[in-house]
Structure 1
Amino acid sequence: MLLCTMEPRFCETDALGHINNTVVPMWFETGRTPVFEIFNPGQHLNTWNVILRKIDVDFVAQIYYGHPVEIRTRVGHVGSSSFVCEHEAWQRGSLVATGSAVMIYFDFEQQRKQEITAALRAELEKLR
């Protein structure tokens, strides 16, 4: 499992005084950064090779400014050309959001998905 801590910013709050729902998907993307590194060491945009197919977020509880949020990321299902990242957000010892992202291993020159290699699959399996 991958862990990262987000410090909610004041600008991420909304009129109701909690973290806006548009922020959590960005935090989950930050949690996927080490996964991107597996596919593209150095994360150079000219060699980028993963794309987002689908995301979902379930808001379990309100998230507040002034308290860090721990993002927990793990790899779920790994298919032939896609994989799923599963996310949890925790604040003050409570689960506040869950979500997932379906990622596609993609060849931008050919404009099509590509087969996940055995070496990449082995690295993803370490995050299950």
Structure 2
Amino acid sequence: MLSCTMEPRFCETDALGHINNTVVPMWFETARGPIFEVFNPGQDLSKWNVILRKIDVDFIAQIYHGHSVEIRTRIGYVGSSSCVCEHEAWQRGELVAKGTAVMIYFDFAQQCKQEIPSALRAELEKLS
């Protein structure tokens, strides 16, 4: 499992005084950084090989400015050409949001998905 800490910024709050719902998917994407590194060491955009198929977020409790948020990320599933990242957001010991992201191993030159090579699959499975 991977973990990173986000510090909510004042500009991420909304009129109701909590973190806006558009922010959490960005935090989850930030938390996928080490997974992008597995797919593409050095994250060279000219060699990029992964696309996002789907994301979902369940908002469980309000998230507030002034308190750190821990994002926990793991690989929940590795298929033949895709993987599912599972995310949880925790603030002050409480689960406040969770979600998933489906990522596809992709050949941009051919514009099609590819089978995940066994070495890459093994690295992803270490993050489950």
The normalised TM-score by structure 2 is 0.99
In the alignment, the residues of structure 2 paired with residue 44 and residue 26 of structure 1 have an alpha-carbon distance, to the nearest angstrom, of 20
Alignment pair present for 1:89 and 2:89: yes
Note the C-alpha offset of 1:77: 1.0
Structure 1 runs (4+) deviating above 4 angstroms are none
1:64 aligns with 64
In the alignment, the residues of structure 1 paired with residue 10 and residue 48 of structure 2 have an alpha-carbon distance, to the nearest angstrom, of 32
Q: Return the letter of the residue paired with 2:26.
A: M
Gaps of 5+ in 1: none
Note the C-alpha offset of 1:102: 0.3
In the alignment, the residues of structure 2 paired with residue 14 and residue 44 of structure 1 have an alpha-carbon distance, to the nearest angstrom, of 35
The normalised TM-score by structure 1 is 0.99
C-alpha deviations, 1:10-39, integer Å up to 9, x for none? 000000000000000000001100000001
CA RMSD of aligned residues (A): 0.4
1:33 aligns with 33
Alignment of 1:1-128 (within 5 A): 1-128=1-128
Q: Return the letter of the residue paired with 1:113.
A: K
Gaps of 5+ in 2: none
Note the C-alpha offset of 1:73: 0.1
In the alignment, the residues of structure 2 paired with residue 44 and residue 6 of structure 1 have an alpha-carbon distance, to the nearest angstrom, of 24
In the alignment, the residues of structure 1 paired with residue 45 and residue 37 of structure 2 have an alpha-carbon distance, to the nearest angstrom, of 12
- Paired residues, what number? 128
